[in-house]
Copies of this chain bind each other. A is one copy, B any other.
Amino acid sequence: MSGQRPTLAAVAARAGVSPSTASLAFSGAGPVAQETRERVLAAARELGYAGPDPLARSLRQGRSGIVATLIGERLLYAFRDPVAVGLLDGLAEVLSSLDSGLLLISGDATRTGPTPDQVARTPMDAVIFAMCGRDDDPLLDHFIGRGIPVVAVDGPHREDVAVLDVDDYGGSMALARHLAELGHRRIATVTLPSRLDGHRGPMSDERRAQVGFADVRQRLKAVEDVFGRVPVVETPTNIIEEGQQAAALLLAAPPAERPTAIVAQSDLLAVGVIRAALDSGLRVPDDLSVVGFDGIETPWLDHYVLTTVEQPYVEKGRVAGRMVAEFLAGRRPDDVRLPIEVRIGTTTAPPAAAGTLAP
């Protein structure tokens, strides 16, 4: 009705009490006579006052109740990734029990990430780097400089951030050994993005030396520690189509040079690899073994059971939430490494005899 929205002071005046008392009446902290409280609430109702302004309250308390989550990719892609979705779900579950909101900050179609400006303007109590914590992300310094606690999921290992990850190296190593034991010698890898610049295709030495994401680096290193240098094709985004395209590149080689097994750095990419194989008339696992990483459930796999490393990604989100809670409580959470499990499925088998002995 009136031009201006009423303030707590106005309500207090109307109720005939001081602003401090009115504040106590709303927040419930401190002793307030029952009758006084009711008078205040009545005054608020009459004036159409909906409760203390969150902004003013946040400023005073130095806390906004907002936890930001950085998603590297466009939401559309991130949401197609069951790992990302599971992570967010676990996270949301815990945050909501903390009475904190989940603010999504994502890249978009044109930019590769959020503008530093937007990040600097947004109030947040803590930030989570979800699947996009490049070791040298400039935003990291910003947050640290601001004193905003950072939880890095699979993210940069640094002194000043709390890290939550799995044993990427060990998991990938186990898969690589599995392939080696089956007799594979010609291996290739399809990797997740090594940085968010949209690059697609064979990975140059230069890029290989500058892989920005720790998990990508570890998973790649494990394979190379078993097989030595292998052909690597990089994808710009963790979606099936990119895996398919990358694998098509690898499978276009003449049969004698064609890999007998492909290590995909994610299950989603692995699905793409399988599709590419089928597209080229190859049978999986007879002509091509495929392994992934993550352990997602997906309807895209038909009757296959993917050989992969299972990681508890929903729990990962929950743990990330709990680490944030620790920070908010003023403590510095310990780094966490969640357990993984290797699952041998039906997408791996010994390589076809061709090449080892002439038929």
Contacts and interface: CB of A to CB of B under 8 A. Distances in A.
Interface of A: 5, 48, 50-51, 53-59, 62, 64-66, 68, 74-76, 79-80, 85-86, 88-89, 92-93, 96-97, 99-106, 108-109, 111, 114-115, 117-118, 120-124, 142, 145-147, 299-300, 314
Given A80-B85, A97-B108, A102-B103, 6 more contacts: A55-B123, A66-B66, A75-B89, A79-B89, A99-B118, A101-B103
A55 B59 CA distance: 5
A283 B80 CA distance: 30
B120 A51 contact: yes
Copies of this chain, tallied across the complex? 2
Nearest to A143: B50
B93 A108 contact: yes
**Which of A48, A55, A89, A146 has most B Cβ within 10 Å?**
A55
Nearest to A92: B75
B122 A101 contact: yes
A142 B50 contact: yes
Nearest to A98: B118
A56 B108 CA distance: 28
B79 A101 contact: no
A80 B299 CA distance: 12
Contacts of A118: 65, 96, 99-101
6 contacts: A50-B142, A51-B120, A54-B124, A68-B101, A101-B104, A299-B300
Contacts of A147: 5
Given A75-B92, A299-B299, A300-B299, A54 B103 contact: no
A146 B50 contact: yes
**Which of A54, A62, A85, A117 has most B Cβ within 10 Å?**
A54
Contacts of A75: 85, 88-89, 92
A108 B99 CA distance: 12
